[in-house]
Structure 1
Amino acid sequence: MALMPKRVKHRKSQRGRIKGNATRGNRVIFGEYGLQALEGGWVSTQTIEAGRIAAQQYVRGEGRLYIRVFPDKSVTSIPLETRMGKGKGEPDFWAAVVKPGTILYEVTGISEEAAKVCFARLAHKMPIRVKLVKRENF
């Protein structure tokens, strides 16, 4: 199931710039361990889904997986071998804008070693550098 918004105010969004670190969504809230982005970028719907499947297969019975990012940015493209002009292309895919420090996935109900292996499988699929973080109890 491809993640995408039910409806948006504008079909086509501008590219924008990723500046600074994440101030929201940068702590492990739901689970015990999280996968944190170390650099900024776009994570597409297909990448999020591929990571979900890889992690879900690993934590199958005992753990629970939480996805903390949602792709709400439309990325447009023009067909290949098209001349210049004729406007902006049609929406091609949806992406989540990720700042450094954003928690992408969380997992609970499994040991730390299992979480390391699970997130190592997930990190291979991500287009950005990531690391494992533990929950901080205040």
Structure 2
Amino acid sequence: MLIPKKVKHRKWHKGRGRNKRIASNKIALAYGSYGLKAQTPAWISSRQIEAARRVMTRYLRKGGKMWIRIFPDHPITRKGSEVPMGAGKGAVEHYVIPVRPGTVMFEIDGVADDQAKEALRLAAYKLPVKTTVISR
């Protein structure tokens, strides 16, 4: 899965209410001709990104090129089950990327129009956000 090699701080705060705004960067296609754009805010985990990537590569086979525009660098901690309150913050369990509405998450190029749209539609099923397929 996708995890950062090194982070400045091992455990981060959750962040409150900053995810409600629309995205200001990664809002346009940069590499490919077709992209998958988020319509709602959510935390997307490294497992969900990997599942979407696998679905797209299996559908496209050897044709075309794909870009992943998001990277999970936000650590999420969790305490063990049945651990009493107190005794500090839990251990890092997984990594997520907080995605805002309007963020382009995946891009595809080098395949036919209908094939690219179908691959992105299949990838959208694996993600916890409402999405739309955009094109140049």
- Interval containing the TM-score (normalised by the shorter chain): over 0.9
The within-5 A match list for 1:21-40 is 21-40=22-41
Q: CA deviation at 1:93?
A: 0.1
Q: How high is the TM-score relative to the length of structure 1?
A: 0.94
Runs of at least 5 residues in structure 2 that lack an aligned partner in the other structure:
none
- Aligned-residue sequence identity (percent) comes to 37
The within-5 A match list for 1:8-27 is 8-16=7-15, 17=17, 18-27=19-28
Q: CA deviation at 1:115?
A: 1.4
| Residues 87-124 of structure 1 deviation map (CA, whole Å, 9 limit, x = unaligned) | 11100001111010001100001122111211111111
Instruction: Tell me what 2:54 maps to.
Output: 53
Alpha-carbon distance in 2 for matches of 1:120, 1:102? 16
Query: In the alignment, does 2:109 pair up with 1:108?
Result: yes
Please, what is the CA RMSD of the aligned residues? 0.9
Letter of the 1:129 counterpart: K
Structure 1 stretches of 4+ moved >6 Å:
none
| Residues 19-61 of structure 1 deviation map (CA, whole Å, 9 limit, x = unaligned) | 3111100101100000000011110001101111100111122
Instruction: Tell me what 2:72 maps to.
Output: 71
Instruction: Tell me what 1:5 maps to.
Output: 4
Alpha-carbon distance in 2 for matches of 1:30, 1:60? 19
Q: Helix, strand or coil: the match of 1:85?
A: coil
Runs of at least 5 residues in structure 1 that lack an aligned partner in the other structure:
none
Q: How high is the TM-score relative to the length of structure 2?
A: 0.95
Query: In the alignment, does 2:34 pair up with 1:43?
Result: no
Count, aligned residues: 134
Q: CA deviation at 1:62?
A: 1.6
Letter of the 1:20 counterpart: R
